[in-house]
Chains A and B, each alone.
Chain A
Amino acid sequence: MNKKKRDTIYDIRYTKHAKTVLMTGNEAIGEAAVAAGCRLYAGYPITPQNELTAYMSKRMVEEKRVFIQSESELAAINMVFGASVAGARAMTSSSSPGISLKQEGISYLAGCELPAVIVNIMRGGPGLGNIAPAQSDYFQATRGGGHGDYRTIALAPSSVEEAVELTRLAFDLADNYRGPVLVVGDGILGQMMEPVQVSSFKFQVSSSQPPPKPWALTGAKGRKPNIIRSLYLKPRALEEFNKKLQRKYEEIKEKETRFEEVLTKDAELIIVAYGTTSRIAKAAVQSLRKKNKKAGLIRPITLWPFPDKAIKDAAKNTKVFLVVEMSCGQMIEDVELAVCGRRPVHFYGRPGGGVPTPEEIEKEAEKLL
């Protein structure tokens, strides 16, 4: 028998006849990027996102695309910057400390209005922290992260299947709005294996074929030279540019806010949680419902733009909010801004690599119901 040795890294091509495959979140994000037409990936090793870099080192080369293990996170984000300048879809990935290093480049991508996808598989911090899953980069992901007046769309998948869909969406949104887009997961999402429909990787043509980029640098043949820059020295020029960016962010807020609501209609208590935490919270909500306790869940899918209207609307009918995060409380500030004092907002968090159990969340909820 001609038995081919299975690679340690998951390879979707081994499953030609299967309809469903088991993949880690890291691998699924990699395959989704390949399917979305990513032409350059640059990355630097850091746990817990290493499977993604390793996956790309194989798949990108097989597809005759560009894979570079860079000398640093700074270099990786700037290689992505260069590929984007040249009009290509490009991605880098890292985990929390590495994402801090990329912030310089992310600010320049925003300032130069260049599309790019950045994946953050979050771990505990501050500093070196640990390599356990965490959600403590919420502020960094939703407030810009680097210097200057800008925002980045931040997509937060809660399953491996959804990571595929949101990676595809990240490339589309980056191109459509000409700016960096973050895919924000945690160490559990990155390393957990879950079934994924093979058909999930067959994207619409619009996704694998990016829109024309007349602004890209390809050589000034038959046209005036293109210039890409974020420097505006003339009086008021930067002020005008900043206002232009803000108009773009307003449009994104209006059109691209995404969230999921579970049993919120009659809920007396609404849990707000995203990513892995939202799945644990969902189990708590189901358990509470079995006890006839009216709990519901709002799960932000876009951390920025934050679904503040959904929270605001829910505040009309519900009695109390419980925000659950794998941090000391970061998203809770956005929930409080949306609720605006109309209802009490409580918090339950497990920072530094702690993961809340459904029972813990249930217990916290029962104190409030």
Chain B
Amino acid sequence: MRKIFTRPKSLRDVPTHYCPGCGHGIVHRLVCEVIDELNIREKTIGIAPVGCAVLAYDYWDFDVTEAAHGRPPAVATGIKRILPSNIVFTYQGDGDLAAIGTSEIIHTANRGENITVIFVNNGIYGMTGGQMAPTTLLKQKTKTTPFGRDKIREGYPLKISEMLAVLDGVVYLERVSVHKPVNVRAAKKAIKRAFLTQINKEGFSMVEVVAMCPVGWGTSCEGSVKWIEDNIIKYYPLGVLKEKYE
């Protein structure tokens, strides 16, 4: 029988620690599929964040380093400047990229470092038990916004990708989602394009992936898909935010 669907070579065959319905597994897989298709596994260096994806190196079958919370873009800068022929990407959550690492992501993007950033936005701190993230929506209840996020008390959900898109150093930036098969396919296309941007030495590329966190959101798997459809992508619309190829 002909095998038409299998595990990407870059993804290890190990049990997952992610919760049921979590988006990380899909995003991990998409990254690995792209790395396989571009045949860059042997020259790829990934940077795992602090957060739920801290154990990404248990799943990815290529060179991976950890980085302190928020610092992956600075670490990626160091690696890429030393090894410009390698493919370097960071995998960061919303707390990592849009809160504690805001400075690093802005300046790395602004320097136009030729790296790729996979930014997983699920609007919550999953690993620490569901606290408010910079991307938590208004009125959304979390462990630290028990009455819902209040714009007076907590401010507005941060539009970090829109902020980054205005920087001259950013070549490609797209927001995608993985809540439906059609979106997953579009997400893969965007991730591939981001890696190609780096391979072609065009400059800084980033894909924001809106992902489900049913456990953190206190909902079911189906409920999390509906939450993205009805709420998140209304505030964070999907699509290309920046393309500036020379």
Contact = CB atoms under 8 A, between A and B. Distances in A.
Interface of A: 39-40, 42, 66, 68, 70-72, 74-76, 78-88, 90, 104-105, 108, 112, 217-222, 225-231
A81 B67 contact: yes
B71 A78 contact: yes
A233 B104 CA distance: 27
Contacts of A86: 45, 78-79, 82-83, 86
Question: Which residue of A80, A83, A90 has the most chain B CB atoms within 10 A of its CB atom?
Answer: A83
A229 B80 CA distance: 18
Nearest to A216: B63
Contacts of B64: 217, 225, 227-228
B107 A219 contact: no
B74 A66 contact: no
Contacts of A90: 78
A261 to B, nearest CB: 41
13 contacts: A40-B78, A70-B74, A75-B74, A78-B67, A85-B45, A86-B86, A104-B68, A112-B65, A217-B45, A220-B42, A221-B43, A225-B64, A226-B63
A87 B54 CA distance: 22
Contacts of B83: 86, 218-219
Contacts of B61: 220, 225
Contact of B74 (A79, A218, A219): A79
B81 A85 contact: no
Contacts of B45: 85-86, 217-219
A38 B80 CA distance: 16
Contacts of A104: 68
A217 B104 contact: no
Majority DSSP secondary structure for residues of B touching A: helix
B78 A220 contact: no
Nearest to B106: A71
A225 B103 CA distance: 30
B66 interface: yes
Contacts of A80: 78
B82 A88 contact: yes
The 4 closest A-B pairs by CB, nearest first: A82-B78, A78-B74, A219-B43, A71-B107
Interface in B50-86: 54-55, 57, 60-68, 71, 74-83, 86
B65 A228 contact: yes
Q: Give the interface size bracket for B toward A.
A: 20 to 34
A82 B86 CA distance: 13
Contact of A230 (B66, B79, B103, B107): B66
B63 A225 contact: yes
A11 B66 CA distance: 38
Interface of B: 41-45, 48, 54-55, 57, 60-68, 71, 74-83, 86, 103-104, 106-107
Given A72-B103, A82-B74, A231-B54, A217 B66 contact: no
A82 B66 contact: no
Given A74-B74, A75-B74, A82-B65, 11 more contacts: A79-B77, A81-B78, A82-B74, A82-B80, A83-B78, A86-B82, A219-B45, A219-B86, A221-B42, A227-B63, A229-B57
A74 B78 contact: no
Given A82-B78, A83-B79, A75 B107 contact: yes
B68 A78 contact: yes
Contacts of A229: 48, 57, 65-66
Nearest to A233: B55
A40 B82 contact: yes
Contact of A85 (B42, B55, B79): B79
Given A218-B86, A219-B86, A71 B78 contact: no
A82 B107 CA distance: 16
Nearest to A76: B74
A78 B77 CA distance: 9
Question: Which residue of B42, B44, B68 has the most chain A CB atoms within 10 A of its CB atom?
Answer: B68
Given A78-B67, A218-B83, A85 B103 contact: no
Contacts of B77: 68, 75, 79, 82
B63 A42 contact: no
Contacts of A68: 77, 81
A84 B54 CA distance: 20
Contacts of B106: 71
Given A68-B77, A227-B57, A231-B54, A82 B63 contact: no
A217 B103 contact: no
Contacts of B55: 231
